[in-house]
Amino acid sequence: MTQAPDLDQSDLYLNRELAALEFNFRVLAQARDPRMPLLERLRFLCIANTNLDEYFEVRVAVLKQHLAFGDARPGADGLPPSEVLTRIRERALELVREQYMTWSDELQPALAEEGIRFLTRDKWTAKQKRWLQGYFQNEILPVLSPLGLDPAHPFPRILNKSLNIAVVLEGRDAFGHAGHMALVRAPRSLPRLIRLPAQVSQSPYEFIFLAGLLQQFADEMFPGFRVQGSYQFRVTRNSELTIEEEEVENLANALTEELIGRGYARPVRLEIAENCPKAITELLMANFELNEADVYRCAGPVNLNRVLAIYDQVDRPDLKFAKFTPRLAPALLQTPGVFDVIGQRDVLLHHPYESFQAVMELLRQAAQDPDVLAIKQTLYRVGTDSPLVESLVEAARAGKDVTVVVELRARFDEEANIRLANRLQSAGVQVVYGVVGYKTHAKMLLIVRREGRRLRRYVHLSTGNYHQLTSRLYTDIGLMTAHAEIGEDVHKVFQQMSGLGPMIKLKRLLHSPFTLHKGLMAKIERETAHARAGRAARIIAKINALNEPGVIQALYRASGAGVEIDLIVRGGCTLRPGLPGVSERIRVRSVVGRFLEHSRVYWFANDGAPELYCASADWMERNLLRRIEVGFPILDPELAARVFEETLVNYLADNTQAWQLGSDGRYTRVAIGDTMPHSAQRTLLAKICG
């Protein structure tokens, strides 16, 4: 009898931080793909760059913090944080080199061929230089506050990710002081890219980096000195807010105070120009208390992600993805009354192919309907000027009972959510900040409506945020339903969050941190039992990330028992597929394309009676055990079949934008081979949007 493998062995798991970093290589690959429209390739380059910024601001910062405070416990992979940081640097250096190579060797030449040029100082004509000097004197110099460094002017506080120029000066100032080093901070009010006007341009679109202007005309900021050199740099700081919620009386006030200092928190990375001398580099390192392992030299502009600003300035539709119009869900076209439709049948929404307008219309009609008595909603990320917020305000002012759970701790949206909460409260909305210690990540809308002698609940549940902009950029599944048991479950979850009530028992929903993890484990184990009994067993899941050790071990056991498992994991995955005797029947793929894959769908074969759930939760420790999340079943067989085909079968067939994860933690692009090319996203655009 074969001995069961020890599933606690550290070599069965990939490191979660390194797995998350790998995603950016797949994003960068889109920037290098000649099949992509050129300006979209530029956009992917910038996304990879900003992703890396956030990676250092949060993941690297937290690792460094753990080391500093002696909380350096390894994860399931067994790697101590010090070793993880070493490996992160090795891989991040590779990523940075590839980013700048993609920019200088591939994208810049291709853009220049299309008449879109980025001019460095050595490429300026005399006419352009005169115009730029005038622009500098009239538009830039009056805004600058250059700072010479001496005992009376110590090194200033440098804002997180701000563009700065270190200038080396020679000579004496008006007070007789010898030359020194000075710093020039690029004000945030100035554009990072300046477009040359037609009268001095030699191409349809010519752009100059602000950093180039600051360096070229540095002598005008320091009259009387000779500029010996000027070097761009940028510092990245810890942006993870740490609030001891149990110890604060007012979470909103505490977060507001924390946000004030976020831009000046502890540094974690220093980006400098490739040609920056050793002495200047060491001075910057000493000031920011960083070492050589924290320094990244840039073979180009240190603020590379700023080139994205040209995307909207360049009127070249042929270099962008073709525009599309999301369709309105067919069921909602039959009648203008949303409640009439949902009252008769469930409605499925597949974003971005189907319009988010359906959700906004549901809330708009609820706000204006005299029979609607109450509205309850969770808001995690909303966006500015959202019609949803306007409808909530309108409903409250119309006398309806409106309760909104606003998650203040949505990373990098904290300030916007505080403003949102204040606005809602001023309009009479009852605002709840969720549960201490647990982020509210569930996406739920509940409407209570009087119909004759009874009250009826209408519900919208989603895998994505109530954000009209990202609904055009992210793939998500939404469900509108008047199913009585689902409505009752959603009502109980809202009651628990607002009233801080005791444990609740739900009939249809899986609810984190209580039943979602347990329910998921039970369903995996049920498939395992089917396989051991000789029945066909299969699991397919589409999620953004996978790192929860208990779930991974359950999947390993299922694979060992004979369950066929396909996982479509967009981002980091710490499960090692294809290990002999452990995960031979597990396949992991990642699809990266035009839209950010964001929908979470779990499917279990269940011996011919399949179950399909959509959810707000990934299979991550934080989602399953430390957040408020919901998983909701798609009960209508026709809609369940549609979700199965569109989000699972369709993506397993993708051979143009899919990547396969190997047991070594590296991804290889799926080859088209002899089969017909199949893109999951393009297939859905053609099928749904026409």
Contact 446, 490 (CB under 8 A): yes
Cα distances (angstroms) measured from residue 422 to each of 397, 403, 410, 411, 427: 15, 13, 16, 18, 9
Distance separating alpha carbons of residues 330 and 341, to the nearest angstrom: 11
What's 571's DSSP letter?
S
Distance separating alpha carbons of residues 654 and 159, to the nearest angstrom: 43
**How many alpha carbons fall within 13 Å on the CB side of residue 646?**
27
- Mention every residue, 6+ apart, whose C-beta is less than 8 A from residue 620: 545, 546, 547, 548
Specify the DSSP element, H or E, that contains 267. strand 267-273
Distance separating alpha carbons of residues 196 and 202, to the nearest angstrom: 9
Task: Choose, from 66, 153, 350, 441, the residue flagged as catalytic.
Answer: 441
3-state class (DSSP) for residue 671: coil
Specify the DSSP element, H or E, that contains 287. helix 278-288
Burial 544-573 (b: 16+ CB within 10 A, else e): bbbbbbbbbbbbbbbbbbbbbbbbbbbbbb
Specify the DSSP element, H or E, that contains 319. none
Give the burial class of 375: count Cβ atoms within 10 A of its Cβ; 0-12 exposed, 13-18 middle, 19 or more buried: buried
**Nearest alpha carbon to residue 265 among 294, 288, 231:** 288
Cα distances (angstroms) measured from residue 494 to each of 482, 498, 511, 516, 672: 16, 6, 12, 16, 47
Cα distances (angstroms) measured from residue 265 to each of 238, 258, 513, 545: 6, 10, 31, 28
Active site includes 66? no
Q: Where are the alpha helices (DSSP H) in 289-386?
A: 338-344, 357-368
Contact 491, 457 (CB under 8 A): yes
Contact 49, 99 (CB under 8 A): yes
Nearest-5° angle of CA 491, CA 551, CA 505?
25
Structure tokens at 350: 């597949």
3-state class (DSSP) for residue 555: helix
- Can you list the positions of beta strands (E) in 111-245? 116-118, 147-148, 164-170, 181-185, 193-195, 205-209, 226-237
Contacts 24+ apart (CB under 8 A), 435-439: 435/497, 435/500, 435/628, 436/245, 436/246, 437/245, 437/246, 437/626, 438/513, 438/626, 438/627, 438/628, 439/407, 439/409, 439/410, 439/622, 439/626, 439/627, 439/628
**Nearest alpha carbon to residue 13 among 75, 57, 82, 65:** 75
Query: Active-site positions?
Result: 441
